[in-house]
A = this chain, B = another copy of it.
Amino acid sequence: MTAADILGYAAGALTAFTFLPQVLKTWKEKSAKDISLYMFVIAFVNEIMWLIYGVMIDNWVIILTNAVMLVMSAIMIMLKFKYNHQ
């Protein structure tokens, strides 16, 4: 495994959890007025594309990273609708 490989895996692992602080903050504060719905809708659609791509090229790093992000985007979309006006 090269230094580039290690950096790529580390970057991928961190990417998977990018949305986690937002999910936790919105969950806790029950306020999502300032959150862009479109951002998470774009992310949701985009992660489905990445998942299909990951399956097509049989790359488990892409599949797992985007499966985590897909779930978090779905949660954020639900939280946005639930807490939009608070």
Q: Report the separation of the CA atoms of residues A31 and B31 in the bound assembly, to the nearest whole angstrom.
A: 12
Q: Report the separation of the CA atoms of residues A24 and B11 in the bound assembly, to the nearest whole angstrom.
A: 26
* Residue A57 at the chain B interface, CB threshold 8 Å: yes
Instruction: Indicate the size class of the contact surface on chain A.
Output: 35 or more
A15 touches B46 (CB 8 A): yes
Q: A42 contacts which of B17, B29, B45, B56 (Cβ < 8 Å)?
A: B17
A interface residue numbers (CB < 8 A to B): 3-4, 7-8, 10-11, 14-15, 17-22, 24-26, 29, 31-39, 42-43, 45-46, 49-50, 52-53, 56-57
B49 touches A22 (CB 8 A): no
B17 touches A26 (CB 8 A): no
